[in-house]
Amino acid sequence: MNETSRIYIAGGDTLIGTALRERLRAGGYTNLVGEPPDEPDLTCPWQVEDFFSAERPEYVFVAAGPTGGIHANQSYPAQLMRDNLLTTVHVIHNAYRYDVAKLLYLASSCSYPRLAPQPMRVESLMTGPLEPTNEAYAMAKLAGVVLCQAYRRQYEASFITAIPTNTFGPHDDFRAEDSHVIPGLLRRIHEARCRGQAEVRIWGSGRPRREFLYSRDLADACLYVMRNYDADEPINLGGGPELSIAEVANAIVNVVGYRGRLSFDTSRPDGMPLKCLDSQPLMKLGWSPSTDFHTALAETYDWFLRHIASQENRNARKAV
């Protein structure tokens, strides 16, 4: 892949897709096709085929498909599974039909078995039951992994899979209920500070542990892997810090400057008790993240303040 290559990022307006577009442009890869708002509806087969037939991308990053946190996965499992399966099949099949030189499919760390040995290695995939809170979505992402391997085997397609750890950053989904833990808590703790709320309820026990990676580092890893990796086996994209949810919440309290107290709502689910990736293969390939967690958290909160909170305040003033 070089600076003149035609590159398509499926899901260009997602957390990872936006970070990828920024990273590619910063690296001189400016021949991007299908950027929002010109991206087709990836759940519609003929829109996807018309797009690939017209634009003929040479390299494709698949960062598309609806996502959500633990509450969203419990609320909309059918929609999450259906739209991810449709998106994945349509993009991967048309990438094959229209001779894409290389495709990188982004799976999800929730596709590992609930009790996989930690840190999780790709050999553990499909060796045990999935986490019930996100089984439907996880199965859809797992199907994408196997589909890429099948296209490699049957058609010798250069389609690879990367499995990112929990990712956060600017352009994240900050909805209070359906987002992932970091954007969800940033919003809720920010609002508690603005409203002078004495307490914020953290979902679950606070004991689950997660590994986190900044979206800008993940985008850099995706570019590195696209240029340096080509094998049947998926590759984990991690290398970030492993923290308990309670530690994450306290870090967010410090970034937001909240003075109230935190309590734990154990009526809400914990999800996987521990979810950390073995990213040794990625490190051996020569990549590691460059942004420390607190800097990443502060930059994410700053983006939220400038793009979400300020807009919602303007809307609220207009509504009065």
* Interface ranges with ligand GFB (CB under 6 A): 67, 69-71, 73, 108-110, 134, 137, 166, 179-181, 184-185, 188, 202-204, 208, 210, 245, 268-272
* Least distance in angstroms from the C-beta of 264 to ligand GFB: 8
DSSP alpha helix (H) spans, the chain: 15-26, 45-55, 70-75, 77-97, 135-155, 181-195, 215-228, 245-256, 280-285, 293-304, 310-319
Residue 61: partners with Cβ closer than 8 Å, 6 or more residues away: 7, 8, 9, 10, 17, 20, 103, 104, 106, 222, 226
* Least distance in angstroms from the C-beta of 200 to ligand GFB: 9
71 vs 216 by CB, closer to ligand GFB: 71
CA geometry: angle at 238 spanning 109 and 165, to 5°? 25
* Least distance in angstroms from the C-beta of 55 to ligand GFB: 29
Decide: 247 and 286 in contact? Cβ < 8 Å: no
137 is an active site residue: yes
52 vs 174 by CB, closer to ligand GFB: 174
Q: Which residues pair with 7 in a beta bridge?
A: 32, 59
CA dihedral angle for residue 66, residue 72, residue 73, residue 74, rounded to 10 degrees: -150
Query: Which residue is closest to ligand GFB by CB?
Result: 69
Decide: 213 and 289 in contact? Cβ < 8 Å: yes
Q: Which residues pair with 103 in a beta bridge?
A: 60, 159
* Least distance in angstroms from the C-beta of 277 to ligand GFB: 11
95 vs 262 by CB, closer to ligand GFB: 262
Residue 219: partners with Cβ closer than 8 Å, 6 or more residues away: 16, 19, 20, 22, 23
In the three-class reduction of DSSP (H, G, I as helix; E, B as strand; rest coil), residue 237 is classed as: strand
List the catalytic residue out of 112, 137, 151, 301: 137
How many other CB atoms are found less than 10 A from the CB of residue 290? 11
269 vs 281 by CB, closer to ligand GFB: 269
For residues 215 and 27, give the distance between their C-alpha atoms in angstroms, rounded to a whole number: 16
61 vs 212 by CB, closer to ligand GFB: 212
Side chain identity at 280, as an amino acid letter?
A: Q
* Least distance in angstroms from the C-beta of 320 to ligand GFB: 28
* Least distance in angstroms from the C-beta of 213 to ligand GFB: 10
201 vs 307 by CB, closer to ligand GFB: 201
For residues 73 and 16, give the distance between their C-alpha atoms in angstroms, rounded to a whole number: 19
Question: Which sequence positions are flagged as catalytic?
Answer: 137
